[in-house]
A = this chain, B = another copy of it.
Amino acid sequence: MALKLSIDVMGGDRTPDEAVIGACAFARENAGITVILVGREDNINSLLKREEEGVPSNIEIVHADEVVGMEESPVTAVKEKKDSSIAKAVNLVKEGKADAIISAGNTGVSVAQSTLGLRRIENIKRPGIINPFPSEKDIFYMIDAGANSETKAEFLFQHAVIGAVYCKYMLEKEHPRVALLNIGTEESKGNERVREAHRMINEIKNPFFEYKGFIEGTDLFTGEYDLVVSEGFVGNVVLKIAEGLSRSLMKVIKGEIASSLVRKAASSVLTGAFEEIKERFGYERYGGAMLLGVNGICTILHGASPRLAFINGLEATKKLCESEINEHITEYISLLKKDA
């Protein structure tokens, strides 16, 4: 059956414009996939009129009256805005009318709405956000980037397993390299949760992934790991620090360069290099994060996503649907249950 991707075109800082433009570009390249734009119909229609190449025939619209703001509380938004674009996008998946949701809106609301609407996969205790990061060499994923603010050893353990399944199919690696983030590499380091999760992962019989044990923050960006497992509070801080620090560092570098005239002349030659670095380290390239562990595919994009991020997010979502990621997660988790 043909794929149907449901995109919340209202949530985010640069929507609906960038979402609609990105969705049309993706739809044009993927004639076999239906792209459902969920949001204010009049807004969407006036944007579609601007499409110079015309509206692709595989674009559909589902009207949603309400929009959830970036700062709204998930609890209130889920309870009070039943007709929001994100709620309707989730409902399409719940009712079998779409295969996946893509949103650049309020992350907490996307997580709450999807968890509530789609329910957890059987035996999964807590869904987790798996987020891509650039490394020195290529790319790695981190789970949980902030779906949960409290954790237990079992949540960390399950996130290692379902995150490894994700990497297996997204990175197409037979044996993804998995590490657990800690404050030291010795067995005695860290808190009880992380030590217990470490023991649990080590006890898996014939794991399909390669478990590298504890790593420290220093090792995160070296490119030696495909998946780094961390509690949600830490993962969220890491995600935001990576963004903030990279930005501050680039600002300082540009400031230093501009502080001398000769350097300024030289720096104009380097503009191309800086652009390449910015692109390589930009989140736009990486297809967004995913809420892993719910019955459905839910792709979470950066709030400031431009059209390129929507296109890549749709591409990643398509790949996830085609790889039947959730069927594989169910299978691996039930294998572990039998082993235990």
Chain A interface (Cβ within 8 Å of chain B)?
A: 71, 73, 75, 108, 135-136, 146, 149-150, 181, 183-184, 186, 188-192, 216-222, 230, 232-234, 236-246, 248-249, 251-253, 256-257, 259-260, 262-263, 265-267, 269-270, 272-274, 276-277, 280-281
Contact = CB atoms under 8 A, between A and B. Distances in A.
A274 B260 CA distance: 13
B191 A217 contact: no
A221 B262 CA distance: 28
26 contacts: A73-B186, A73-B188, A181-B237, A183-B233, A183-B236, A183-B237, A191-B233, A217-B241, A218-B240, A218-B243, A218-B244, A220-B244, A221-B241, A221-B244, A221-B248, A237-B237, A238-B238, A241-B245, A242-B245, A245-B246, A249-B249, A253-B253, A256-B276, A256-B277, A257-B270, A266-B270
A249 B246 contact: yes
A213 to B, nearest CB: 14
B257 A273 contact: yes
Copies of this chain, how many?
Answer: 2
A217 to B, nearest CB: 3
A252 B136 contact: yes
A133 to B, nearest CB: 10
A222 B246 contact: no
Contacts of A217: 236-244
A123 B191 CA distance: 24
Nearest to A183: B236
Given A221-B248, A257-B273, A238 B236 contact: no
Nearest to A192: B150
Contacts of A272: 260, 263
B244 A273 contact: no
